[in-house]
């Protein structure tokens, strides 16, 4: 029962271009969504989040879009930089519920010079 | 301001031995969560604890696994009689309240030989 899915295991983008990472979810109870970045042998690092009352949240080069009707969110990174090469996880939660995060499988982003 | 501290970073155990993983939350955080990441997969929730209480253990295997967060000292994830399938990265996270401000430690990589 995979409630959060990242269907692209990997993505390769040229430096300076836009990276778009996608995530789909099935549980309509989710009302808070997060993106994490993870380097090998390190823990996930929080990037950006969005509440279900919004459809967009922006922080510097990172923007998250939420389409509730499609149960889809995406992370846009622009411009992409070599240091952005990592595995990106989306996660979802129910604020008033169990408070645990449900993670997708991750997408490995590689930024090519 | 130290982050979430996990130790050991690497742990090797023979089949049948016990593994003890420790997690000290960030200062001021009273919520602790344990997650497990199997190779090439996303993080899976195991257990959510507050001081001296297990709040949600819905992700814990029914046997051999236990967790505690005592009044004093770190949170402990204990795996008895380890098997090869327990080999994974175990991450601890802490937060001041629910999914807001969720911060992960660097993880403990358990290898069962």
Contact B82, B19 (CB under 8 A): yes
Best residue of A101, A102, A103, A104 to probe chain B, by most B CBs closer than 10 Å: A101
pLDDT at A2: 81
Phi, psi of A67 (to 5 degrees): -115, 95
3 state SS for chain B: CCCCEEECCEEEECCCCCEEEEEECCCCCCEEEEEEECCCCCEEEEEEEECCEEEECCCCCCCCEEEECCCCCCEEEEECCCCHHHCEEEEEEEECECCECCEECCCEEEEEC
Residue B24 has pLDDT above 80, yes or no: yes
pLDDT at B1: 52
Cβ of residue B41 closer than 8 Å to a chain A Cβ? yes
Average pLDDT over residues A62-68: 98
8 Å CB contact between A9 and A89? no
Q: What is the mean pLDDT of residues A72-94?
A: 96
- Polymer length in residues for chain B: 113
State how far the Cα of B108 lies from the Cα of A6, in Å rounded to an integer: 25
Residue A30 CA to residue B40 CA, distance in Å, equals 24
Contact B99 A44 (CB under 8 A): no
pLDDT digits (tens, 9 = 90+) for A10-27: 999 999 999 999 999 999
Contact across the interface for B58 and A99, Cβ inside 8 Å: no
| Average pLDDT of span B46-61 | 93
- Tens digits of residue pLDDT in B4-21: 999 999 999 999 999 999
CB-CB neighbors (< 8 A) of B56 in chain A:
98-100
| Average pLDDT over all residues of chain A | 94
Report chain B's terminal Cα–Cα distance, integer Å.
36
Whether A53 has a pLDDT exceeding 60, the answer reads yes
* Residue B75 reports pLDDT greater than 70: yes
Q: What percent of chain A has pLDDT over 70?
A: 97
Residue B45 and residue A100: Cβ atoms within 8 Å? Answer: yes
d(CA A100, CA B33): 8
Q: Is B98 on the interface with A (CB under 8 A)?
A: yes
Token representation of residue B10: 């690497």
CA neighbours closer than 13 Å in the CB half-sphere of residue A82? 2
Looking at the partner chain, which of A6, A91, A98 has a beta carbon nearest the beta carbon of B56?
A98
Note whether A87 and A34 are within 8 A (CB): no
- Closest CA of chain B from A25, distance in Å: 14
- Paired with B78 in beta bridges are B20, B66
């Amino acid at each position: 029962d995979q409630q959060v899915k990242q269907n692209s295991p990997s993505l390769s983008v040229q430096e300076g271009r836009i990276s778009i990472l996608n995530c789909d979810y099935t549980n309509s109870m989710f009302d808070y969504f997060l993106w994490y970045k993870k380097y090998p042998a390190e823990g996930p690092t929080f990037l950006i989040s969005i509440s279900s009352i919004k459809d967009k949240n922006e922080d510097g080069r990172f923007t998250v879009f939420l389409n509730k009707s499609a149960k889809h969110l995406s992370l846009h990174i622009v411009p992409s930089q070599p240091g952005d090469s990592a595995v990106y996880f989306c996660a979802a939660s129910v604020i008033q519920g169990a408070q645990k995060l449900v993670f997708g499988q991750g997408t490995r982003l590689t930024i090519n010079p | 301001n130290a982050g979430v501290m996990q130790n050991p970073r690497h742990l090797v155990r023979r089949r049948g031995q016990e593994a003890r993983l420790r997690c000290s939350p960030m200062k001021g955080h009273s919520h602790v969560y344990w997650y497990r990441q199997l190779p090439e997969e996303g993080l899976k929730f195991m257990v959510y604890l507050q001081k001296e209480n297990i709040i949600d253990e819905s992700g814990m295997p029914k046997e051999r696994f236990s967790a505690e967060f005592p009044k004093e000292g770190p949170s402990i994830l204990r795996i008895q009689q380890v098997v090869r399938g327990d080999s994974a990265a175990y991450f601890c996270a802490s937060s001041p309240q629910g999914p807001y401000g969720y911060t992960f430690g660097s993880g403990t990589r358990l290898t069962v030989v």
